[in-house]
A and B are shown apart, each in its own frame.
Chain A
Amino acid sequence: MTGVPGELAASLARFLERLGGMTRFAGRVLWLSPAALLRPRLVVEQVYNTGALSLVIIMTCGLFVGMVLGLQGHDLLQRFGSEESLGTGAALSLLKELGPVVTALLFAGRAGTALASELGLMRATDQLSAMEVMAVDPMRRVVVPRFLGGLISMPLLTAVFIAVALFGVQLIGVQFLGVDQGQFWSQMRGAVELDDVREGLVKGLVFGVACSLIAVFEGYNAQPTAEGVGRATTRTVVISAVVTLVLDYILTALML
C-alpha cells in the first residue's frame, strides 16, 4: 500500500503497537507493585521527589485558581442575588472537577516530566543496562518505586490543592468582597456530601495512576539520545493532559 491510505494504515499500526506495548508495560508494573512496598525506603524517596517537590507549584497554583474562582463565582452569583452560595459552588467545583484535573495537569508538567527525563537519561547513559548486567531488574528497582511514588503523591497533592484553593476563594469572597463568613462555611458544610469528596479522591487516584504510568513508560522506552529524551518528555505532558481530560469525562459520567 502506498499514498495516504498506506501511511494511515502504517501510523495506525504504530499506534496500536505502542498501545499494546504500554498495556504490557502497565501490567508488569502493576504486577510488581505489591512487592515493591516491601522496600518502603525507595518508595518514600519517590514520594518526596514527585510529591514534596511539587508542593510549591501546587500550592501557588491552587491559591490563584481559588482566587479567580472567588472573583468569577461572586460575579456570577451576584446576578442571582445568592452570593452566600459562593462557598458551596466553589467547594463542589473544586472537589469534583478543578482540584483533580488541574492537579493532574500540573503533576504531569512538574513530576511527570522529571520522571520521564530522569528515566530517559538513565537509559541514554547505560545506567539501566548496567543494572541488568548487575542482575538487578530496573523495573523493580527504578520504575516501580517511581510509579508508586507518583500514585501516592497525586491524591495527596489533590487534597492540598483543594484546601489551598478554598482558602483562596474565602480570601477573595469573604475578606474582600464581603460575603458573610458564617453563611459561606455553613452552606458549604450543608451541601457537600461525602460522595463529592469521594469523587475527587477517586479521580485523583485514577489520574495519579495514569500520569505516573505514562511518565515512567515514556522515560523507560525513550530513544537513548538527547533528542529521544526530549521527545519522551514532551510526549509525557501531551499524552498525560489528553488522557486526564478523557478519563475525567468518563469518570464524571460514571459517578454522577
Chain B
Amino acid sequence: MPIAKRRGAPALGRPPDLLESRAFQEAARPAPDHQPLNQILQPAGGNASSAESDNVADLHGVDYSIGGKAVFRGLDIGIRRGDVTAIMGPSGTGKTTLLRLITGQLRADRGRVVVDGLDVAGLDRRELFALRRRMGMLFQNGALLTDLDVFENVAFPMREHARLPERLVRSLVLSKLHAVGLRGAARLMPQELSGGMGRRVALARAIVMDPQILLYDEPFAGLDPISMGVVMRLIRSLNDALGISSVVVTHDVREISQIADASYILSDGQVVASGTPAELREHPSPVVHQFMEGLADGPVNFHYPAPDYRTQLLDRSEAA
C-alpha cells in the first residue's frame, strides 16, 4: 500500500501519467525566479515573522459554538509548512467549520487562530483580505460562479485583484487549466461540467493566485473512482510542484492515507489522534480504530440518542 510521499519522491509509486508528464510539470512548477503573483501584487506581506515558524497555521485552545452547541472545545492543531495535512472525523464534527476559522470567515469564541504568523481574530477587514489572497480554498461543490464560463472563473481572482494585460491573464489561466487537464474545456459553462471536472476547475481557480496555503473541503465527496484518483494525485502533485501547504478535510480515510503527510482525527470537538496514516492505523484508541476501519458501531454510536426502544413502543401517550 502506498504510503505518504515526501516532497521530491516519485508520485505514489504509480506508472507515470499525465500528472508526472513534462507538460504538467512545466505548467504547474514555478520558474526558478518565480515570484508568487500574490506577492507581486501585495509586496508588503505581513508574514515576515512567520518565515522562521515551522507551521503555516496553528489553532491554540480554540472554542467555538453554534447556537449554544459546542463544536470545538480546546482544539489544538498545527499545520506544518509544505505538508499535506488531513483533517478527518465523522460527519458533523465541524471539519468545515475548522476551515472557516482558518479563512477568518468565522471567529473563535476563545483561543487563537494563527495563520502565516498572523492572529486572524486581530485582523481588520483589509488585513484579512490581504491574508486570504495567500490562501486558496476548494469548496465541496466547487462553488464556481455560474454566470461565468470556465476560463472566466479561473481568471476571476486575477481580474478582481490586478489589472494585468489580457495576454498575461490568458496564458496564466491556460497554464492552470492545463495543470488540471481541462485546457480544452475553457469555454464551457459550469453547468456543462461533471462533478469531477467542476472540482478541477475550482482547483485551477484556487491556485491561480499562487497561494501558499490550499484548503480542501471534502475534495473526494461524490466523485467516481477515476475522478477521485485524479483529484487525489492533483492534491499531492500541486502541493509538491508549487511548494505550498495543503489542508484536506475529508472522511475518505483510504484515499487520503495515500497522500497525507500528517493527519488529525477530530471527534467531539477535540483532536482524538494525530500522526502519520501508518501511526493512526496502529492507534490504540477505540474511536480511531472505529473510524479508520469504518465500523458502524463503537464509541461513535450508530443510534442517535433515544429512549429505550421497548419502552417507546409500549408508550401509548406518544402514539395518541
Residues on A facing B (Cβ under 8 Å): 121-122, 125-127, 129-137, 141
CA distance A133 to B137 in the complex (A): 7
B139 touches A126 (CB 8 A): yes
A130 touches B160 (CB 8 A): no
Q: Across the interface, name the chain B residue whose C-beta is closest to A136.
A: B160
Chain B residue numbers with a CB within 8 Å of A122 are 145-146
Q: Across the interface, name the chain A residue whose C-beta is closest to B133.
A: A135
**Option from A121, A130, A137 in Cβ contact (under 8 Å) with B139:** A130
CA distance A104 to B292 in the complex (A): 59
Chain B residue numbers with a CB within 8 Å of A134 are 132-133, 156-157, 160, 205, 209
B143 touches A129 (CB 8 A): yes
B130 touches A127 (CB 8 A): no
Residues on B facing A (Cβ under 8 Å): 103, 105, 129-130, 132-133, 135-137, 139-141, 143-146, 156-157, 160-161, 202, 205, 209
B132 touches A125 (CB 8 A): no
Closest-CB distance, A111 to chain B (whole angstroms): 16
Chain B residue numbers with a CB within 8 Å of A137 are 129
A125 touches B160 (CB 8 A): no
B129 touches A135 (CB 8 A): yes
CA distance A232 to B103 in the complex (A): 28
Closest-CB distance, B205 to chain A (whole angstroms): 8
B132 touches A135 (CB 8 A): yes
B103 touches A133 (CB 8 A): yes
Chain B residue numbers with a CB within 8 Å of A136 are 156-157, 160-161
B157 touches A125 (CB 8 A): no
Chain B residue numbers with a CB within 8 Å of A132 are 103, 105, 132
Q: Across the interface, name the chain B residue whose C-beta is closest to A142.
A: B145
What 9 A-B pairs are tightest by C-beta distance, nearest first?
A130-B143, A126-B143, A135-B129, A135-B132, A133-B137, A126-B139, A135-B133, A136-B160, A134-B157
Chain A residue numbers with a CB within 8 Å of B139 are 126, 129-130
Q: Across the interface, name the chain A residue whose C-beta is closest to B159.
A: A136
Chain B residue numbers with a CB within 8 Å of A126 are 139-141, 143
Task: State whether A133 and B141 are in contact (beta carbons under 8 Å apart), knowing that A125-B146, A127-B146, A141-B160 are contacts in the complex.
Answer: no
CA distance A36 to B202 in the complex (A): 26
Counting chain B CB atoms within 10 Å of each CB, which of A122, A131, A133 scores highest? Answer: A133
A129 touches B157 (CB 8 A): no
CA distance A126 to B139 in the complex (A): 8
Closest-CB distance, A220 to chain B (whole angstroms): 15
Chain B residue numbers with a CB within 8 Å of A131 are 145
B132 touches A133 (CB 8 A): yes
CA distance A106 to B166 in the complex (A): 40
Q: Across the interface, name the chain B residue whose C-beta is closest to A49.
A: B147
Chain A residue numbers with a CB within 8 Å of B137 are 130, 133
Closest-CB distance, B301 to chain A (whole angstroms): 27
CA distance A16 to B145 in the complex (A): 34
Closest-CB distance, A212 to chain B (whole angstroms): 18
**Option from B130, B135, B146, B161 in Cβ contact (under 8 Å) with A133:** B135
